[in-house]
Amino acid sequence: MDAIQQKVTLPPGPKPLPVLGNNHSFVRDPLDFLQTLHQTYGPLATIYMSDTPSVVLFEPEHIHYVLTENPRNFTSAEFAQNLQEFTGHGLFNLDGDTHRQQRRLVQPAFHRKRVESYADTMRQYTLELLDTWKAGEQIALDQELQQLTMRTVAKCLFNIDLGLRNSNLGQAFADIRENQPKLLEMILKLRINLPFTDYGKRQRGKRIIDEVIYRLIAQRRIEGKDEGDFLSMLLATTEDDQALSDTQIRDHIMTFVAAGHETATNTLSWAIYLLAQNDSEYEKLYLELQSQLHGQPPTLADLAKIPYTEWAINETLRLYPPAYLIGRRARAEFTLDNYTFPAKTNVLISKWVLHRRPDLWEAADEFQPERWRPENAKNIVPWSYIPFGAGPRICIGMPFAQLEMRMLLATILQRFKFRIVPGFKMQTDAVITLRIKNGLQVILEPAP
Ligand code: HEM
């Protein structure tokens, strides 16, 4: 109750219920809740996650303050405790010096030259998947893309080929994603490990993935060969002269596979959805591919010739940012806009609202890749677009993701056009990342 009484010093917000705080409204429809908060309370709003005050930020300069001006005051690990169940002490759950040190350690895997060397795998795996699709058939596009992005990240970073159909692992990730804690589990912090509980289902998913990862680590330790990949880097690393333990390596792998496939799958699914809804933008993109690539899958060098593809991806990330919310917890008191926030305040940064603010974006809800044409992009308000975050925790996989999304989209769209099944009503599903509810069913057509 103490925390609730402090509200007088905080920005206004909806009335919290005892115990629940505003959790119920948030869980019911997070995106609508965030929009309504901004419309009702303006630049800052206070909500309560159970009894912890959480300030929701919608202003570019406030977001800049938290992510880059004063990031040391805002921890991620404490905020991301629900992720810890799954990613252990991977980057999401580290802070301060340990975070900096571990991030520096894995950074070489994402240097430009190294990332560019992944382009051939990205193209080859996409072509292999496309060979299994037939014009006229209906597919669950997001599931197909999930298999592709998981296979790609596993091969590029860990040099293992999961094969075209890695449904076991795909299902295990789905078990975790689809059984996130419901209100009761959140409030009561209930963790009952039975086959039918959400927690039990998440644990089952985790067990399956762990088995694969630990087997991979053991095999590599036995082989003792430097494969020159991310995993070899982790195996060769020492921390204060101690090699990383299997658990530390497992946590890094889990973090990178989870962060690296789900976000890219969502973006590509949303991009194809948006292109299927916007004929003239689709035409422009397809014309660019035809005129520049002449029916051939892109090489790394080709990517510079297809800027519209990149703009379409930027625009997709604006409208449907997969990581739609960034969370932090304040270590010490801080001040914003004449409000003083106590230590332990949660900070929520809503990209969903920021990226669609009508005062920051013209025709904010429209899919307009042209706004990313360099002469137009220079008018974009600084800090109004942060799909990959910013500051010391900016997405480490950004160069990988940017390459992958262009390679995959350009390869796919040269072979197929997508028609959304009749009667489909798009609904968003904002749980950990922003997805299309119940997936995207499409009918394949040959590219024109
Ligand atoms: C469209 C694709 C992607 C988007 C939109 C995205 C978005 C983000 C965002 C917003 C953050 C920062 C979260 C924060 O500040 O708390 C982040 C962090 C991270 N991302 Fe990505 N990501 C994408 C792809 C990837 C890929 C492909 C990988 C790996 C192969 C990856 C690995 C990571 C990791 C490990 C972190 C944690 C970094 C840290 O805490 O230092 N992401 N991502």
DSSP per residue over 53-91, as a string?
Answer: EEEEE--HHHHHIIIIISGGGEESTTTTHHHHHHHTTSG
Euclidean distance between CA atoms 146 and 129, whole angstroms: 11
Nearest residue (CA) to ligand 1, atom 23: 263
pLDDT, tens digit (0-9, with 9 covering 90-100), for 345-380: 999 999 999 999 999 999 999 999 999 999 999 999
**Measuring CA to CA, which residue among 335, 374, 431 is closest to residue 55?**
335
Give the number of other CB atoms < 10 A from CB of residue 12.
12
The answer, yes or no, to whether residue 37 has pLDDT greater than 50, is: yes
Is residue 381 classed as helix, strand or coil in its secondary structure? coil
Distance (angstroms) between ligand 1 centre and the Cα of 147 equals 19
- Nearby residues of 448 by Cβ (< 8 Å), 6 or more positions away: 286, 417
Which amino acid is located at 58 in the chain? F
Nearest residue (CA) to ligand 1, atom 16: 326
Please name the residue ranges forming H helices in 326-424: 351-354, 374-377, 398-415
Q: What's the pLDDT score for residue 176? A: 85
Task: Check residue 363 and give left, alpha or beta (phi > 0: left; psi -120 to 50: alpha).
Answer: left
- Exposure letters 204-226 (e unless 16+ CB within 10 A, then b): bbbebbbebbeebbeebeeeeee
> Which structural domains are found in the chain, ordered by start?
88-323+355-446 (1.10.630.10)
**Measuring CA to CA, which residue among 363, 386, 309 is closest to residue 57?**
386
pLDDT, tens digit (0-9, with 9 covering 90-100), for 136-179: 999 999 999 999 999 999 999 988 888 887 778 888 888 888 88
Furthest-apart CA atoms within the chain: distance in Å: 66
Distance (angstroms) between ligand 1 centre and the Cα of 156 equals 16
The answer, yes or no, to whether residue 188 has pLDDT greater than 90, is: no
Helix or strand run (H / E) with residue 266: helix 246-277
pLDDT, tens digit (0-9, with 9 covering 90-100), for 281-318: 999 999 999 999 999 999 999 999 999 999 999 999 99
Distance (angstroms) between ligand 1 centre and the Cα of 62 equals 21
Give the number of other CB atoms < 10 A from CB of residue 153.
26
DSSP assignments along 110-169, one per residue: GSHHHHHTTHHHHHHHHHHHHTT--TT-EEEHHHHHHHHHHHHHHHHHH-----S--HHH
Euclidean distance between CA atoms 440 and 60, whole angstroms: 32
Distance (angstroms) between ligand 1 centre and the Cα of 267 equals 13
Q: What's the pLDDT score for residue 173? A: 85
Atom of ligand 1 nearest to the CA of 391: 15
Q: What's the pLDDT score for residue 186? A: 64
Residues with CB under 6 A from ligand 1: 76, 91-92, 103, 153, 255-256, 259-260, 263-264, 267, 322-323, 326, 387-389, 393, 395-397, 400-401
Distance (angstroms) between ligand 1 centre and the Cα of 266 equals 13
Distance (angstroms) between ligand 1 centre and the Cα of 88 equals 16
Euclidean distance between CA atoms 434 and 388, whole angstroms: 14
Is residue 395 part of an annotated ligand binding site?
Answer: yes
Atom of ligand 1 nearest to the CA of 404: 27
Euclidean distance between CA atoms 150 and 147, whole angstroms: 5
Atom of ligand 1 nearest to the CA of 156: 30
**Measuring CA to CA, which residue among 149, 206, 214 is closest to residue 174?**
206
Residue with tokens 């597919």: 139
Nearest residue (CA) to ligand 1, atom 7: 388
List for the chain the helix, strand, coil content (%; round to 5): 55, 15, 30
Probe ligand 1: pick from 388, 400, 402, 432, max atoms within 8 Å of CB?
A: 388
pLDDT, tens digit (0-9, with 9 covering 90-100), for 76-109: 988 877 778 888 999 999 999 999 998 998 888 8
Distance (angstroms) between ligand 1 centre and the Cα of 121 equals 21
Strand-pair partners of 37: none
18: tokens are 């005892």
Euclidean distance between CA atoms 131 and 124, whole angstroms: 11
pLDDT, tens digit (0-9, with 9 covering 90-100), for 43-64: 999 999 888 899 999 999 999 9
Nearest residue (CA) to ligand 1, atom 41: 393
Strand-pair partners of 55: 46, 347
Nearest residue (CA) to ligand 1, atom 39: 393
CB 264 within 8 A of CB 399: no
Is residue 244 classed as helix, strand or coil in its secondary structure? coil
Which amino acid is located at 154 in the chain? A
